[in-house]
Amino acid sequence: MAKVKDRRSIWLVIIVALIMVSLYVTFFHGSNQQDPAKHNLEKTGAGAVVDFTDATKKIHIAVDSVLAKKGFSAGEIKELTKEVPRKNIEGSIRWHTRQLLITVPAEVSVESIKESFQLAVHNADGQIFSSQPDTYQGVAVVRIDIGLKDQLAKEDVTIISDRVYLTQGKPLNPKASNKIDAKYDGSIKGKMAIIIDDFGYNKESISAFAALNRPITFAVIPYRPFSNEAAAKGLSSGNQVILHLPMEPLSQSAQSEELTVSVNMSDEEIQSMVKQAIQSVPGIIGVNNHQGSRATADRRVMKDVLAVLKANHLFFVDSRTNSQSIAAETAKQMGIQTGENQLFLDNTDEVSAVKAKLRTALDMASQHGTVTVIGHARMNTAIAVKEMIPEIESQGIQLVFVSQLLQ
């Protein structure tokens, strides 16, 4: 009798084990079915290539279907297959990207087009990252960034597949698109672009600048605790985002970032570092330098940096941390849209001092028509800018994105 009970117990254990295995396989197989991979793997001698080409082309088709249904055609299409090294692991990430210039009738709202894109690309496992004012070859447009997100071994990957530039029968007004209620005493006498550097180090200043309801160019430093949050908040608040690229200063003791473009690097190392930094901050349309007093005075280094920017259709703004910088000059020679900082606002971190600098910038804009200035992601700077907006605009100076002042 005891043997019979033992056999029954053994069979019971076996049956329970089989049921558990069956449930395990069913659950995980079902999970995989619900969340198919967005990429293909291609084995190479130097690790694996994670290829998102098929996924991005699927999003291209979704975008094209919206344009076809609405009867719009692209006035210009630029296509590129991009491949960048992965962070902290051998191998690379590859995808197909393009930018399209679309002219639509004046009576068609940009918001309705965006909503159509949203539904179509969602069905293609994509999403809209941002919709914001921009310029395209000197014409005011609204730029819509579309792409996908994925995760590779706990590495978040953000890919822009389609950058759509929309212009209407007459150029869009970026000021109106950003819902700016500007007040001027008389006509506009000049324009001021404010770049705010060092987003990514702290959290509190992100919301303060996003809430200004004026065009602010967010320069986000890569790989910091709040870099992605700053980029996302900048985009969602209707502002523009650029990469704040760490570059070598004259004094090594002053260097603040471990991953910094250095004059001692080879051409390949410089270009690889710039590619990875670009990939790390989603939605960027340009780059300016963080520190860089040594690197921006080195022509070889700047050619390497700018070659990557040109391949990615990004502009460059020279922060002018060194009067001997040849960065902007080199960018112009390479056919890259560029600009230069003309004044740092907050070398002294006091509201009154920043206001004084903004008044100097106001005078510069009045005299010369335009001015580009740089501040930093600090609360005192945000307070000073907010309190100075009425004074700036009452003097006929319009706040604009730096992309609107490039040459």
For the stretch 13-39, pLDDT in tens is 566 566 665 655 554 444 444 455 677
Q: Give dist(CA 349, CA 347) in Å, integer.
A: 6
- CATH assignment at residue 369: 3.20.20.370
Residue 151 predicted with pLDDT over 90? no
* Residue 311 in domain: yes
- Contact assessment for residue 116 and residue 176, using Cβ atoms and an 8 Å cutoff: no
- Residues 152, 219, single domain; the answer is no
Domain of 152 in residue numbering reads as: 40-174
Q: What are phi and psi of 183, to 5 degrees?
A: -125, 120
Q: Give dist(CA 379, CA 385) in Å, integer.
A: 10
- Residues 44, 119, single domain; the answer is yes
- Contact assessment for residue 380 and residue 204, using Cβ atoms and an 8 Å cutoff: no
Residue with tokens 């990430």: 93
Instruction: Determine which of 174-183, 334-343, 395-404 has the lowest per-residue pLDDT on average.
Output: 174-183
Out of 174, 196, 216, a domain closes at 174
* pLDDT tens-place string over residues 51-99: 999 999 999 888 888 888 888 877 778 888 888 787 777 888 888 988 8
- Residues 144, 191, single domain; the answer is no
Tell me the H-state helices in 133-210. Answer: 174-177, 204-210
* Residue 193 in domain: yes
- Residues 240, 344, single domain; the answer is yes
Structure tokens at 167: 């212009």
* Residue 130 in domain: yes
- Residues 268, 348, single domain; the answer is yes
The amino acid occupying position 133 is P
Structure tokens at 160: 């822009």
Name the E strands within 111-154.
Answer: 127-136, 139-152
Mean pLDDT, residues 285-290 taken together:
94
- Contact assessment for residue 261 and residue 301, using Cβ atoms and an 8 Å cutoff: yes
Out of 174, 208, 237, a domain closes at 174
Euclidean distance between the first and the last CA atom of the chain, given in angstroms as a whole number: 95
Give, in degrees to the nearest 5, the angle at Cα 208 between 207 and 214: 100
Residues 6 or more apart whose CB falls under 8 angstroms from that of 209 comprise 196, 216, 218, 234, 239, 377, 382, 385
Q: Give dist(CA 231, CA 239) in Å, integer.
A: 9
Residues 6 or more apart whose CB falls under 8 angstroms from that of 336 comprise 306, 309, 310, 315, 316
* Residue 149 in domain: yes
- Residues 141, 233, single domain; the answer is no
- Residues 90, 191, single domain; the answer is no
Q: What domain count does the chain have?
A: 2
Picking from 350, 297, 319, 331, the residue whose alpha carbon sits closest to that of residue 217 is 319
Q: Give dist(CA 30, CA 23) in Å, integer.
A: 10
Residue 260 CA: distances (Å) to CA of 25, 83, 247, 293, 306? 47, 21, 5, 12, 15
Confidence of residue 254 (pLDDT cuts 50, 70, 90): confident
Q: Give dist(CA 96, CA 57) in Å, integer.
A: 7
- Contact assessment for residue 204 and residue 180, using Cβ atoms and an 8 Å cutoff: no
- Residues 247, 184, single domain; the answer is yes
* pLDDT tens-place string over residues 109-136: 888 899 999 999 999 999 999 888 877 7
What pLDDT does residue 82 have? 83
- Contact assessment for residue 295 and residue 289, using Cβ atoms and an 8 Å cutoff: yes
* Residue 328 in domain: yes
Residue 5 predicted with pLDDT over 70? no
Residue 185 predicted with pLDDT over 80? no
- Residues 149, 182, single domain; the answer is no
- Residues 222, 310, single domain; the answer is yes
The bridge status of strand 91-104 relative to strand 370-376 is: unpaired
Out of 138, 158, 174, a domain closes at 174
* Residue 17 in domain: no
* Residue 2 in domain: no
Picking from 397, 316, 327, 337, the residue whose alpha carbon sits closest to that of residue 361 is 397
* Residue 134 in domain: yes
What pLDDT does residue 376 have? 96
- Residues 153, 238, single domain; the answer is no
What pLDDT does residue 169 have? 66
Residue 351 predicted with pLDDT over 70? yes
- Contact assessment for residue 114 and residue 303, using Cβ atoms and an 8 Å cutoff: no
- Contact assessment for residue 374 and residue 346, using Cβ atoms and an 8 Å cutoff: no
Q: Which residues pair with 119 in a beta bridge?
A: none
Residue with tokens 């999003």: 59
- Residues 229, 371, single domain; the answer is yes
The bridge status of strand 127-136 relative to strand 139-152 is: antiparallel
